[in-house]
């Protein structure tokens, strides 16, 4: 809109820029994600119901790949490829951003994909996973949250948020690498997640403290 209005000013269709004194701010939206204990609880919970078990597998795969629900729903078998060092990865264009995402597969993600490699429905549709509608998916996630006795309600977006925070940032994956895997167009989009990890700041400072102590750098009592 700003560009169109400025074009109008340049062409003298408007006498002056009408929004010169308008100040716009963007309010931060809380990013809800799962911590390590919650992820472990969901992944290891015995679920006999096949419908819920499949939804759980899909959610955990999203947590460890950073893909959104729609990206996993559209994930084709041909989009899981080998890297130059013969490791499997997902390489696909994300639905929302339209930019490619290259995601090396962690062991738990490989286990989930292996589980459905011979699934008849998946083979017939050339898909990696049997995926329901988004409405049913979120509905069943609520059931899983109740079974696992989580304090928070599970929603599909929490999986991608958990990948950016608990799975990667909290384990010292460089933010540039995370941005590439999540197919963010700018690093600023990825930096949004880092401010939610106050515990990460504490852990980093503990590591720094140990490193400085080991190197005898500015030890307490030595400053005069």
**Residue 198 maps to a domain:** yes
Q: Is there a domain that residue 29 lies in?
A: no
> 124 in a domain, yes or no?
yes
Q: Where are the beta strands (DSSP E) in 36-145?
A: 80-82, 88-93, 100-104
Q: Is residue 125 part of a domain?
A: yes
Looking at residue 98, its pLDDT comes to 63
> Which tens digit of pLDDT belongs to each residue from 79-100?
887 777 778 888 877 766 667 7
Q: Do the domain assignments include residue 53?
A: yes
Domain count, the chain: 1
Q: Is residue 7, in this structure, part of any structural domain at all?
A: no
The model's pLDDT over 147-157, given as tens digits with 9 standing for 90+, comes to 999 988 899 89
- pLDDT at residue 6 is higher than 70: yes
Domain containing residue 176:
36-214
Mean pLDDT of 98-114: 86
pLDDT tens column, 149-198? 998 889 989 999 999 988 998 888 888 898 888 888 888 888 777 766 66
Q: Can you tell me the distance from the alpha carbon of 184 to that of 100, in angstroms, rounded to the nearest whole number?
A: 9
Please give the average per-residue pLDDT across 3-29, as a whole number: 81
pLDDT of residue 29: 58
Tens-place pLDDT, residues 45-77 = 999 999 999 999 999 999 999 988 888 888 888
pLDDT of amino acid 39? 94
The mean predicted confidence, pLDDT, of the chain is 83
Answer yes or no: is 16 within a domain.
no
Q: Among 6-20, 26-40, 98-112, which is the least confidently predicted range?
A: 26-40
The set of residues, in sequence order, having a beta carbon less than 8 Å from that of 189 and lying 6+ positions away, is: 179, 182
C-alpha distances out from residue 84 to 64, 89, 90, 174, Å = 21, 10, 13, 21
Classify residue 26: in a domain, yes or no: no
For residue 223, pLDDT over 60 is answered with no
Picking from 154, 68, 65, 159, the residue whose alpha carbon sits closest to that of residue 113 is 65
- Domain of 115, CATH number, reads 1.10.443.10
């Amino acid at each position: 809109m700003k560009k169109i209005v400025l074009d109008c000013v340049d062409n003298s269709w408007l006498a002056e820029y009408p929004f010169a004194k308008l100040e716009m701010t963007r309010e931060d939206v809380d990013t809800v994600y799962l911590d390590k204990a919650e992820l472990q609880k969901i992944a290891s919970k015995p679920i006999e119901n096949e419908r819920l078990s499949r939804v759980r597998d899909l959610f955990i795969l999203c947590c460890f790949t950073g893909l959104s629900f729609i990206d996993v729903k559209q994930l084709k078998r041909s989009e899981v490829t080998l890297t130059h060092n013969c490791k499997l990865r997902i390489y696909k264009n994300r639905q929302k951003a339209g930019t490619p995402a290259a995601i090396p597969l962690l062991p738990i993600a490989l286990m989930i994909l292996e589980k459905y490699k011979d699934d008849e429905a998946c083979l017939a549709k050339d898909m990696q996973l049997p995926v329901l509608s988004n409405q049913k998916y979120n509905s069943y996630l609520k059931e899983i949250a109740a079974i696992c006795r989580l304090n928070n309600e599970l929603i599909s977006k929490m999986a991608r948020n958990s990948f950016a925070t608990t799975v990667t940032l909290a384990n010292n994956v460089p933010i540039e690498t995370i941005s590439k895997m999540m197919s963010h167009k700018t690093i600023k989009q990825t930096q949004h997640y880092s401010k939610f990890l106050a515990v990460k700041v504490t852990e980093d400072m503990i590591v720094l403290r140990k490193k400085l102590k080991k190197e005898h750098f500015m030890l307490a009592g030595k400053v005069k």
